[in-house]
Amino acid sequence: MTHPTSYPKSSQYAHDLSTIYAECSGPGGLQLTEFMAEKMVLRPNARLLDIGIERGYQTCFLAKEYGVQVIGLDPDDDRTDGLPHIEHLMRNARKWGVEDQVIGLKLGVPETHFAANTFDFVYSTTTLEMVRGFFGEVLYRQCLTEIYRILRPGGIFGLGEPMHLDVSIPADLAPIYTQGDGAGPEGWAKCFATVNETVAACRVSGFEIIEAGEAPDGWHWWDEFSRNDPHCKADPDGEAKVIQQDGGRWLTYGYVIARKPE
């Protein structure tokens, strides 16, 4: 499958998709992070908050390749070995040689407890849509409001999410996507929004939108995820099969780059 964008930084690691998809969790892995980081125009020594880090692989990539000082937030434990995600973050930070640039905190949005105007950048991928799915739109909006509060004026928010195209759910997939609220395909109708809906939610929280859209490689990332994520590989008739059945008819990957006004 071809994909149009080049990724000079993440391509150094692309030979090991098994590790990338085991240490991240969601479509895109390090390509997604590079795509977002370039759009956000990260600069060395800036203070960046990464919300929803899984094992912190993307967090370490941001520290290593963009020179940012990162705090990674995650309230949960790893579903494979039960260790806090932030412990995996620090293991990866040592492996990447960025332990002096990275701190992990076992906290989640919307209750971050940071002072207002703390960060130059906030990055979050494949996390807030799960908050919407599990806890509803009101809590999703509270997360955006909290991110706005802790960004400094002029600070940049990069939000990447699995989203859906602005079309009805295809008839063969509707019985699957509308079944429940979980993280799997059964909850996706509750989790995922369109780009326009996400832009509107960011605007209500006070953000100015710099750019938003569907990532050009979004379907490629979904496809790659379905072939390399360890949970997809362990259950080829589950999520992986649903993603292949969708084939990009409803699933996409959207992003919003937003600024807190000066």
What residues line the site for ligand SAM (CB under 6 A)?
24-26, 51-54, 58, 73-76, 85, 108-109, 125-127, 130-131
Judged by beta carbon, residue 51 or residue 208, the one nearer ligand SAM is 51
Q: Which is nearer to ligand SAM, 53 or 215 (CB)?
A: 53
- Residue 50, CA distances (Å) to 58, 60, 73, 158, 161 in order: 9, 10, 6, 10, 14
CA dist 98 and 75 (Å) reads 22
Q: In Å, how far from its chain's centre is CA 120?
A: 18
Nearer to ligand SAM, 24 or 93 (CB): 24
How many Å apart are CA 121 and CA 119, to the nearest integer?
5
3-state secondary structure of 48: strand
Query: Whole-number minimum distance, CB 171 to ligand SAM, in Å?
Result: 28
Minimum distance between the CB of residue 172 and ligand SAM, rounded to whole angstroms?
Answer: 25
Give min distance, CB of 51 to ligand SAM, in A: 5
- Least distance CB 109 / ligand SAM (angstroms): 4
Our CB check for ligand SAM shows the closer of 126 and 226 to be 126
Burial (CB count <10 Å: 0-12, 13-18, 19+), residue 147: buried
Closest CB to ligand SAM among residues 239, 262 = 239
Q: How far is the CB of 79 from ligand SAM (least distance, A)?
A: 9
Q: Which residues contact 134 (CB under 8 A, 6 or more apart)?
A: 181, 183
Q: What is the DSSP letter of 77?
A: B
Minimum CB distance to ligand SAM, residue 75 (Å): 5
Instruction: Tell me the C-alpha distance between 24 and 52, whole Å.
Output: 10
C-beta of 37 vs 131, nearer to ligand SAM: 131
